[in-house]
């Protein structure tokens, strides 16, 4: 559904997943509940940080202007995408931000300080008087009840200089001893307030960036696991654009522009046993965010045209649910999700996405309301096959019905299937479910014997996965057929020529086939020279008619591993010579 013209609001549930912003396309929309998209043009030409305050229903956005001469501000929006306030900087530009666990304070990086805003009154105080101007930009995090910030300490070559991680003691910065070349970004967990994750960006000074996780519960940071990704040849280095901790702090999701979305176990930063499906071809990861209730994950990307820029799905990849995909196509609403441009409301009812245009000098705030309801799904009735007896190498259709609770989906959902037989497991192409719930999974069995088909509906944003159903079938050998052409009669001591054709269903018959030939007359039954089958399936039999009366010629094909045996007979009457 391309939305390139007039904005539409209050979309009815039956018009599920039509999102209103101009240029926004819902690519894969199998869900059955409406979602709305409110869009606001942001008064910034660069982007630094976004913080969501669910208690006050406020979204704070700061730009990335790095100058002491021009003053910038924190722009404040409500949950409907309307600007309601502005927190101007009294000295230069603003940068990174963080919210206290209880939502009472908003901490903002400004020139020479980390300021604290009261979120009820917006009264401002200085939390930390920094040593440096912050002209290279700072990131700010709140973990373990404390404020943490990065600082580079230079005003030039910001992407190459060393970044340092600081805490705060009595209003002054306290160096933690941790640092890294280039920029450092943070992630915190809503239900594990002492966990602080940090990642290093790819830069000339940091060619093999790291990820690490800290315990911030004490007076000093205690570093846990650390990981780099490049191999011995330097390939595979992390290209970090964003990172996010799951609500309980057990998983770390990383937007890696070189790899896609990485899902790691936060305890040791090893790869999670099951990963999310890859981003669409041509899309590079730019942002990632877990909802605070632990239900969803949003993955942002840089992509062109109708390729998806945003995917929303269940946070647990073991649930296997498909993603709801969006493409930002219009230059009036941004063309891609900017790095670190995704945040959720605490209850998961809203996703806030900052998009930018192709030139990167315009920014938009999207307030997306994903479907919140979860409906059941199930396979109903009995699975059947067409044909009734499956044959190896021949098309097979497995028919069934999927029932979905809730409103009808706006776009067809898909059923997937796996075949298990003597050759192992094979994943079949997913098929769309018709409006009446019926579907037909197509396959071409490759092995003779028992085969089990497991059919699955993995669910979507609004539907829980259906319980898998299995169908066992006996796959038969492909039938073959012999046809013979012989003279009706001949005379004794004359040559008899019989021609024929061997045909088979399923896979092509193998080369070099020979057929057994028997002749039966009143004197007995005799085995004749076998007949060779040509590449086109034809063959020829020559014999001498030596006995008067009826002579029966029987030709037989023994079959092979994939083809059944077949026989054919022809009768020739032999008369006395004239």
pLDDT band for position 153 (cuts 50, 70, 90): confident
How far is the C-alpha of 378 from the C-alpha of 411, rounded, in Å?
18
> Does residue 545 have a pLDDT over 60?
yes
Q: How far is CA 392 from CA 475, 478, 501, in A?
A: 6, 6, 21
How confident is the model at residue 206, as a pLDDT?
87
Backbone angle region of 390, left / alpha / beta, with phi > 0 → left and psi within -120 to 50 → alpha:
beta
Cβ pair 574, 551 in contact under 8 A: yes
Region 71-100: mean pLDDT is: 92
How confident is the model at residue 67, as a pLDDT?
66
Q: How far is CA 507 from CA 395, 446, 486, 562, 566, in A?
A: 11, 9, 29, 8, 16
How confident is the model at residue 318, as a pLDDT?
83
How confident is the model at residue 306, as a pLDDT?
84
pLDDT band for position 8 (cuts 50, 70, 90): very low
Task: Return the closest-CA partner of residue 404 out of 419, 395, 414.
Answer: 414
Region 88-110: mean pLDDT is: 92
How confident is the model at residue 41, as a pLDDT?
95
pLDDT band for position 132 (cuts 50, 70, 90): confident
Domains belonging to the chain, first-starting first, are 45-294 (2.130.10.10), 377-475 (2.60.40.10), 480-575 (2.60.40.2470)
CA angle 217, 219, 224 (to 5 degrees): 55
How confident is the model at residue 554, as a pLDDT?
98
DSSP states along 385-420: EESSS-BTTS-EEEEEEEEE-SSPPSS--EEEEEEE
Among 23-37, 223-237, 321-335, which range has the highest average pLDDT?
A: 223-237
> Does residue 171 have a pLDDT over 90?
yes
Q: How many secondary structure helices (H) and strands (E) does the chain include?
A: 0, 45
> Does residue 26 have a pLDDT over 60?
no
pLDDT tens for 333-363 read 899 999 999 999 998 889 999 999 988 999 9
Q: How far is CA 423 from CA 38, 387, 472, 511, in A?
A: 52, 22, 15, 23
> Does residue 157 have a pLDDT over 90?
no
How far is the C-alpha of 241 from the C-alpha of 338, rounded, in Å?
9
How confident is the model at residue 30, as a pLDDT?
33
How confident is the model at residue 69, as a pLDDT?
67
pLDDT band for position 372 (cuts 50, 70, 90): low
How far is the C-alpha of 50 from the C-alpha of 76, rounded, in Å?
10
How confident is the model at residue 409, as a pLDDT?
79
Tell me how crowded residue 511 is: count the other CB atoms within 10 A of its CB: 8
Q: Can you give the pTM of this predicted structure?
A: 0.68
How confident is the model at residue 28, as a pLDDT?
37
Cβ pair 551, 523 in contact under 8 A: no
pLDDT band for position 15 (cuts 50, 70, 90): very low
> Does residue 18 have a pLDDT over 70?
no
Report residue 212 CA to chain centroid gap.
26
Q: Assign 3-class secondary structure to 209-243.
A: CEEEEEECCCCCCEEEEEEECCCCCCCCCCCEEEE
How far is the C-alpha of 368 from the C-alpha of 351, rounded, in Å?
5
Tell me how crowded residue 88 is: count the other CB atoms within 10 A of its CB: 11
Task: Return the closest-CA partner of residue 238 out of 180, 171, 165, 156.
Answer: 180
How far is the C-alpha of 171 from the C-alpha of 115, rounded, in Å?
10
Region 165-194: mean pLDDT is: 95
How far is the C-alpha of 324 from the C-alpha of 306, rounded, in Å?
14
Q: What is the mean pLDDT of the chain?
A: 89
> Does residue 411 have a pLDDT over 70?
yes
> Does residue 12 have a pLDDT over 50?
no
Tell me how crowded residue 228 is: count the other CB atoms within 10 A of its CB: 16
> Does residue 87 have a pLDDT over 70?
yes
- Name the least confident of 269-278, 421-430, 460-469: 460-469
> Does residue 451 have a pLDDT over 80?
yes
How far is the C-alpha of 89 from the C-alpha of 117, rounded, in Å?
11
Tell me how crowded residue 294 is: count the other CB atoms within 10 A of its CB: 18
pLDDT band for position 208 (cuts 50, 70, 90): very high
Report residue 6 CA to chain centroid gap.
31
How far is the C-alpha of 257 from the C-alpha of 239, rounded, in Å?
5
């Amino acid at each position: 559904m391309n939305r390139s013209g007039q904005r539409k609001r209050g979309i009815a549930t039956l018009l599920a997943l039509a999102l209103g912003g101009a240029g926004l396309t819902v690519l894969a929309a199998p869900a059955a509940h409406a979602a709305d998209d409110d869009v606001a043009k942001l008064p910034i030409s660069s982007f630094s940080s976004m913080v969501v305050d669910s208690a006050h229903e406020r979204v704070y956005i700061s730009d990335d202007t790095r100058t002491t001469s021009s003053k910038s501000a924190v722009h404040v929006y409500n949950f409907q995408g309307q600007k309601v306030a502005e927190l101007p900087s009294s000295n230069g530009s603003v940068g990174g931000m963080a919210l206290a666990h209880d939502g009472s304070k908003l901490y903002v990086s400004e020139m020479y300080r980390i300021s604290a805003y009261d979120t009820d009154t917006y009264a401002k105080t200085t939390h930390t008087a920094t040593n440096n101007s912050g002209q290279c930009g700072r990131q700010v995090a709140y973990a373990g009840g404390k404020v943490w910030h990065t600082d580079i300490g230079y005003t030039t070559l910001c992407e190459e200089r060393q970044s340092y991680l600081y805490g705060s003691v009595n209003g002054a910065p306290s160096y933690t001893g941790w640092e890294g070349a280039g920029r450092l970004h943070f992630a915190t967990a809503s239900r594990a307030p002492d966990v602080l994750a940090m990642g290093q960006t790819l830069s000339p000074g940091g060619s093999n960036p790291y990820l690490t996780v800290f315990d911030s519960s004490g007076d000093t940071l205690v570093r846990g696991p650390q990981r780099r990704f490049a191999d011995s040849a330097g390939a595979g280095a992390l290209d970090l654009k964003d990172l996010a901790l799951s609500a309980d702090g057990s998983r770390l999701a990383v937007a890696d522009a070189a790899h896609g979305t990485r899902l790691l176990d936060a305890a040791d930063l090893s790869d999670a046993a099951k990963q999310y499906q890859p981003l669409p071809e041509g899309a590079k990861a730019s942002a990632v965010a877990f909802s605070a209730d632990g239900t969803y994950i949003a993955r942002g990307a840089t992509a062109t045209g109708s390729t998806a820029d945003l995917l929303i799905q269940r946070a647990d990849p073991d649930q296997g649910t498909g993603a709801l995909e969006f493409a930002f196509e219009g230059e009036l609403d941004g063309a891609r999700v900017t790095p670190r441009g995704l945040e959720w409301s605490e209850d998961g009812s809203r996703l806030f996405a900052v998009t930018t245009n192709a030139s990167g000098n315009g920014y938009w705030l999207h307030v997306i309301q994903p479907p919140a309801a979860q409906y059941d799904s199930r396979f109903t009735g009995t699975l059947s096959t067409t044909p009734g007896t499956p044959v190896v190498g021949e098309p097979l259709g497995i028919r069934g019905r999927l029932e979905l609770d809730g409103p009808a989906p706006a776009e067809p959902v898909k059923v997937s299937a796996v075949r298990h037989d003597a050759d192992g497991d094979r994943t079949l192409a997913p098929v769309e479910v018709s409006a009446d719930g019926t579907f037909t999974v197509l396959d071409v069995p490759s092995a003779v014997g028992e085969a089990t088909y497991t059919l699955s509906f993995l669910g979507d944003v609004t539907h829980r996965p259906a319980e898998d159903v299995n169908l066992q079938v006996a796959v038969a050998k492909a039938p073959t057929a012999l046809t013979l052409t012989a003279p009706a009669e001949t005379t004794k001591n004359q040559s008899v020529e019989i021609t024929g054709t061997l045909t088979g269903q399923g896979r092509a018959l193998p080369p070099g086939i020979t057929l057994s030939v028997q002749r039966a007359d009143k004197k007995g039954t005799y085995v004749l020279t076998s007949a060779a089958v040509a590449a086109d399936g034809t063959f020829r039999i020559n014999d001498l008619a030596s006995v008067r009366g009826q002579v029966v010629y029987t030709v037989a094909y023994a079959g092979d591993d994939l083809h059944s045996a077949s026989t054919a007979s022809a009768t020739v009457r032999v008369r006395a010579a004239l």
